[in-house]
Amino acid sequence: MTGNNVAPNGEAALTEKEVAVLQALSDAHDRGGFYMAYNAMFDSDEAALQSRVATFSGPVGGVALGANRLLQFAFGPGLGIL
């Protein structure tokens, strides 16, 4: 993890406003927005990847969408696993 929000000891160092933004996105169940905001704060490759998965964007998101469809076909929708 890199960026301006990383303390010298490697831990996340967020302002109250940043925490409020992430909390609001989490409360709204906006996974894509949460990971995009987190990536903007920390320049995190993992958060960038997760934002593409959560929003079904790009090749990685396409694979995630296909995998979700196969799971729904195999197990049915609404089982709380997707």
User: How many domains are contained in the chain?
Assistant: 1
Residue 41 resides in a domain: yes
Q: Which amino acid is at 12?
A: A
Handedness of CA 27, 32, 33, 37 (dihedral sign): positive
**Spatial separation of the C-alpha atoms in residues 71 and 82, rounded to whole Å:** 8
For residue 4, being part of any structural domain is answered with no
Domain presence at residue 57: yes
* pTM, rounded to two decimals: 0.70
Mean of per-residue pLDDT scores for the chain:
85
Classify residue 60: in a domain, yes or no: yes
81 domain-assigned: no
Residues 6+ apart with CB under 8 A from 62: 56
Can you give the residue range of the structural domain that contains 52?
16-75
Q: Is residue 2 part of a domain?
A: no
Residue 26 belongs to a domain: yes
Please, what sign has the CA dihedral across residues 37, 40, 45, 48? positive
Give 33's pLDDT tier (boundaries 50, 70, 90): very high
Judge whether 3 lies within some domain.
no
